[in-house]
Amino acid sequence: MFANQTFFPAAGLLVAMGLLVPGLAFGQQANITGTVTEAESGEPIPGVNIFVKELGPGVAGTASEEDGSYNLEVPPGRVRGQTVTLVARFVGYSTVEREFQLQAGAREINIEMQGDILRLDETVVTGSGEETRAEQVPYAVDKVSEEEVTDVASTGNPAEAIRGRVPGATVISGGGQPGTAASIRLRGITSITGGNSPLYVIDGAVIPSANVDIDALNVKSIEVVKGSAAAAIYGSRAQNGVIQITTKSGGDLGQGASQVRFRSQVGFTQLPNVNLQSRYTNLEVARTSFVDAQGDQVEPGDFIKTERGNTLKAGYADADPDFAEWSIGREDARRVSFQDNEYPQYFDHTDEVFDRGRFVRNNLSFSNRTENTNFRVSASNVRNQGPMKETSGFYRRNARLNLDHDLSEYLTLQTNFALSDNARDDVAGRAGSFTPWPVLYFASPAVSMLERQENGDYVVTPDTTRRNENPLYANNNVTWRSERQRLIGTGQFELRTYPWLTLEGLFSFKSFNGNFTEVYPKGFQTSQSEAVNRGAIEKDSDETRNWGANLKATASRQFLGGLNTRLQAKGRMERQVFRSFNANGDGFSVEGVPRFNNIENDPDEEDTNVSSFQTDVRSMFGFVSADVDWKGRYVLNGLVRRDGTTLFGEDERWQTYFRLGGAYRLAQESWWPLDQIGEFKLRYSYGTGGGQPGFGNKFQTFNVAGGRVSKQQLGNPDLKPSYQIEQSLGLNFALYDRISGSFTYAASRVEDQILNVGLPGYLGFTSQTRNAGTVESFSLEGKLNAVLIDRQDVTWTTGVTFTRTQSTITEFNRTALRFGPGNLFIYEEGNNLGDLYGTQFLQSKSALPERWQQFSDQFQVNDEGYLVPVGSGNSWKDGIDKRLWGTDVDINGDGEEDFRWGNPLALTPDSALTQNGGAASADSKIGNSTPDFSLGWNMGFDYRGLSVSMLWQGEFDFDIYNYDRHWSTKNGRVHHTWDQSGKSAAKKKPQGYEAQFSNGYSDRYVEDGTYIKLRELSVEYTFNQDRIQGLLGQSTANVLQQFTFGVTAANLLTLTDYSGYDPEVTSTGNTKQRHDGLSDYPKYRRLSAKLTLTF
């Protein structure tokens, strides 16, 4: 399949040159010694990486010891009396470079390092493939430090630390269930119907999932590149950007040092004090009881259905007690039922179902570094019970080993192994009725979720007028358990054949196993699925195996005393095999034996089902890149990549991508007049990338049912990946060494969208997956960091990020596609992704159809802004005073009842007036769920061991469709926003007024979602060795290097006018269908105490 493809000639040339390992040279070595100290305090700095720039750290490199001293040996064959540069580099300090004459014998060079709080001198790898100083790349690379990652909530993805810290990054949490990773999108939407999640890379291994399953305490740094202008090096997986995570190693220690570190964090999770239930209702029969369809009183908790399968119905009084003489029949009761009577007994369902849940996280690591070997081994566990009762929540156990060894001055070996084991109690299954949220306020507040049956179990349906059932009953009886195990292993070598040439090879293996178990006991009670009441079992098993190997050659030379060049060539092969198996069965023969061999064999029923699925994907790629700069001032970069994979159609098997970029660092010019501005870099990059099709998109498929075979999808041998073209223009600057910032404008066009297109019936197939659309996006990004105070014992820093992003469908070669909950989103040419569509109720007389314009005096705009029929001589305020609620209005005098009095109006698809939201046109734009802009603000303060940090983040000027409010109205348990108590008679409205909106999806439930959140708050105090010695004595200080204790909080505060539980909500966690307002498990705050001991 790939045999006829030739690899890059340049790659072969560099590999061949690398095999010419030079012979041994004889002579005397050079020894460079000295001490590394902090410039301000004079304190020694251990762990500083020191190396000869021209020879590289592998040939001539070392690290400073605990007392700051170092000893660098240069092999005899490398000593020729040449001028070289000694480099000292350490995180948090500016890089120091010292030129000297490299001669045999001993030489002393002492080094003073200045603090680099703004991290202006940091290096990056992502996007370039080699460690490069950030100031010398022509595109935007954002980096999040170890300290910023440490306190991220343990959801499985420490990459969530980029929220509010990296401009252009959107982080969406679909729900708060423990163990659920957030979805992340970088810049605009790139795929209309596919995924928009970035590519994750951990220590060189690609992870195709947001659940990367590593502990944040093992993370050294996170790098983020957005869009193909920076990420073109990843080819057909580049259009969504890349998040690269680097884990800690023993190389971070000083030479000859060992370290043991233990961190424990204990706390709790709880819901904010938000109650969405109504406290008022219309009068119910006997005020505390219910009646069935026959009028017989039923006590709450009784499990009764009608013959048609309907649950019990409430026996409403005909009217509010103050207007009881309005007797118009039970079926129209809601038209004159006012929600202004306080419930005689009131239960807060949120408080009943949720409580404080325990949170525990422990991490133990051991690190060591010697002259030729360094390693770090760690183990950790996390248990997050979550705030929901009757669940055990989520746990994760991790183990990791990072090992580096220098076999010789020419060869270094590295290995990384990571193992994770996860399990979670889920909270909803295929019966579909136990999702805890928003069920809690569908039920009447007059009943309790804590009521018990005679057998001591929870009542199944506390509110027998609704089909929604008690989530505590399900949690206490049903097994919903998800498990996953992941193993990642990499082995790599680095061969330094010449000072200017390096060969690198890497082999990676990834294994993933996922299992889901669902068991309903025999005798389970639910009205949603009769099958599970007989007992049911389901098991899903998924496994993925991935193998990959690559070889890379890098040649770096300097010419003309300032022309720095670097040429890279890399090739990689991958194979990924996925297998899944599902089995389910209904109807246990006996109780207490949840096994498949306990399923009854009824010949008239399909009691068991078994299915399986398998995929096998093979890929190859190669690239060549070149980097050139003149004395670090003028920077140029170019890259070409070739991708081939079995996911592409047979006639489009290979695709080509490229990147061109340049930067001009004006402040490095001799003529630069502004000494206060130490960095002023203009940059531009132009790149291409892609998005791969799904496994089944190119194949011809058939369906087998009832012994018959029918055609489904027509195959497509011409199916290509989507193709992104992105341009990025930016500015980086630094002022007074105290302020740094960056601004970026990025515009992208993603062509050849992968869409499923319907086919004419005469072809025999229903659809075909094609390249049939285009999305265009732009993004404005800004970042500003400042050092407000920088003294020996006091540091105060702050930072702000800004993002504005918009995405539009500019080509859509198929019929319009409605998508999302309630089909709120419409995908068609010209629409912005994120626009909400539904029914627009009329808000002015000018919106009336022409035939009604002559009667416009009989319509008025009420206090809520809606146009309502009031009739001749009436006002919208007269509903109670004239007893007009529940009556009909004859607008045109033809003797027919035209409209219900006082109820809003909408247009049908043929432009007729209607008061039924379900019959109205749903094609009006009613909002936009994409924020106009977002902001992040972080602050850090340190004073003599006391550290305070916080992160605020917000999104502004966007709309949410409050799905929960809509459905609670539809279920007859109107949202708290509809309480009528305390309103004047003119403004009170009956339940029937609100109910008409709930028949469809309308602007009624669209709300402003603007919010500001206090995402993180941390306060801690650190005892260094001097403080430990003064407090506990010298003997303790000789063992205990440092200990830190403190408190931390996540999601502590939300500021918003949104009437729902949380404005940061989406039903799926999808970054396209944002803010639809449908949630299943509320997000919570977390508070904990932490202790770190370092030996």
What the block records as the tokens of 594 is 């949840």
Residue 861 CA to chain centroid, in angstroms?
Answer: 43
Q: Which domains does the chain have, with CATH numbers?
A: 9-20+28-113 (2.60.40.10), 283-337 (no CATH), 842-916 (no CATH)
What the block records as the tokens of 152 is 């991220």
In single-letter form, the type of residue at position 1048 comes to: T
- Torsion from C-alpha of 807, 811, 813, 814, nearest 10 degrees: 40
Cβ atoms of 318 and 330 within 8 Å: the answer is yes
Q: What was the pLDDT predicted at 56?
A: 77
Provide the strand spans (E) within 499-607: 501-520, 536-559, 563-586
Residue with tokens 């990459």: 159
Sequence-distant contacts of 6-13: CB under 8 A, at least 24 apart: 7/571, 7/622, 8/569, 8/571, 8/622, 8/623, 8/624, 8/642, 10/567, 10/569, 10/624, 11/551, 11/553, 11/569, 11/570, 11/571, 11/622, 11/624
Cβ atoms of 982 and 1080 within 8 Å: the answer is no
* 3-state DSSP assignment of residue 738: coil
Which phi and psi angles does 217 have, rounded to 5°? -75, -10
Alpha helices in 117-248 (DSSP H): 146-149, 228-231
* 3-state DSSP assignment of residue 592: coil
Q: What was the pLDDT predicted at 626?
A: 96
What is the distance between the alpha carbons of residues 973 and 439, in angstroms, rounded to a whole number?
10
What is the distance between the alpha carbons of residues 439 and 461, in angstroms, rounded to a whole number?
11
Q: Which residues does the chain have with pLDDT short of 70?
A: 1-27, 151-157, 174, 210, 275-336, 428-439, 465-467, 527-528, 603-606, 970-977, 1067-1080
* 3-state DSSP assignment of residue 1019: strand
Cβ atoms of 858 and 889 within 8 Å: the answer is yes
What is the distance between the alpha carbons of residues 187 and 727, in angstroms, rounded to a whole number?
13
Residue with tokens 């004073």: 943
What the block records as the tokens of 692 is 């791969």
User: Is residue 449 packed enough to be buried (19+ CB in 10 Å), middle (13-18) or exposed (0-12)?
Assistant: buried
CA distances from 361 to 129, 220, 508, 693 (A): 34, 18, 29, 39
Cβ atoms of 1074 and 930 within 8 Å: the answer is yes
Provide the strand spans (E) within 706-738: 708-711, 713-714, 722-735
CA atoms within 13 A on the CB side of 714: 15
Cβ atoms of 429 and 436 within 8 Å: the answer is no
Dihedral sign, CA of 308, 310, 311, 317?
A: negative
DSSP designation for 458? B
Write out the DSSP string of 677-710: EEEEEEEEEEEEEEEPPPTTTTS--EEEETTEEE
Cβ atoms of 1006 and 353 within 8 Å: the answer is no
What is the distance between the alpha carbons of residues 681 and 354, in angstroms, rounded to a whole number?
52
Q: What was the pLDDT predicted at 294?
A: 47
Among candidate residues 697, 687, 686, the one with its CA nearest the CA of residue 645? 697
* 3-state DSSP assignment of residue 233: helix
In single-letter form, the type of residue at position 544 comes to: T
Q: What was the pLDDT predicted at 336?
A: 67
What is the distance between the alpha carbons of residues 138 and 729, in angstroms, rounded to a whole number?
9
Q: What was the pLDDT predicted at 348?
A: 86
What the block records as the tokens of 174 is 């679909």
What is the distance between the alpha carbons of residues 801 and 162, in angstroms, rounded to a whole number?
11
Write out the DSSP string of 335-368: GG-BS-EEPSS---HHHHHB--EEEEEEEEEEEE
pTM of the model: 0.87
In single-letter form, the type of residue at position 25 comes to: A
Cis amide leading into 438 (omega within 30): yes
What the block records as the tokens of 661 is 């970029």
Sequence-distant contacts of 711-715: CB under 8 A, at least 24 apart: 711/764, 711/765, 711/766, 712/765, 712/766, 712/767, 713/756, 713/765, 713/766, 713/767, 713/768, 713/769, 714/759, 714/763, 714/765, 714/767, 714/768, 715/768
What is the distance between the alpha carbons of residues 383 and 925, in angstroms, rounded to a whole number?
44
In single-letter form, the type of residue at position 811 comes to: E
